[in-house]
Amino acid sequence: MQATDKKLGERILHAVLYEACAMALLVPLAALVLRKNMLHMGALALMMSTAAMLWNMVFNALFERLERRFGWQRTVAVRSLHALGFEGGLVVLLVPLAAWWLDTGYWQAFLLDLGFFVFFLPYTYAFNWLYDHLRARFVARRALSAVTE
């Protein structure tokens, strides 16, 4: 079974595990660094995660419409445009949310957002590597047990 053979249920499991593990690591760290209550930071993380997932769906739908309309191929330039557009939109959504929730200025909220980006870059790599590794072991074990039955 290849990575592209994932069914909807597994994709949902992957997304939920990704967000849950990120929050388990990030919320205590952010609460400590910002000297905020963990519940307060957890609520912000939940709001930001929800906004990011919703933005992901909306942005991708809009971007794919542009791809079809202009006949774009997924070149490095188009993928870079996609990444910059997604991240830029996320900053526009999340910085005001963080500033409001933490009762701080936009600059401080922007720096917090940069800190989250610095966290999520290696986290995403490590999480997906570990997930793929464990998934491959699970799939191999399942295939072996199907053969021996």
pLDDT tens sequence for the chain (149 residues): 444 567 888 888 888 898 899 999 999 999 999 999 999 999 999 999 999 888 988 998 898 899 999 999 988 898 888 888 988 999 999 999 999 999 999 999 999 999 988 888 899 889 989 998 999 999 899 888 888 76
What pLDDT shows up at residue 38?
94
The full set of domain ranges for the chain reads 49-148
Could you tell me the CA-to-CA distances from 103 to 60, 67, 98, 109, 147 in Å, in that order? 31, 39, 8, 9, 59
- The C-alpha angle with vertex 30 and arms to 26 and 35, in degrees rounded to 5, equals 155
Could you tell me the CA-to-CA distances from 32 to 27, 49, 115, 131 in Å, in that order? 8, 19, 13, 28
What pLDDT shows up at residue 37?
93
- CA 29, CA 117: separation in Å to the nearest integer? 14
The 8 Å CB, 24+ separation contacts for 69-78 are none
What pLDDT shows up at residue 3?
47
Residue with tokens 């079809």: 68
What pLDDT shows up at residue 86?
87
* Cβ count near 127 (within 10 Å): 17
Could you tell me the CA-to-CA distances from 13 to 81, 99, 123 in Å, in that order? 28, 31, 17
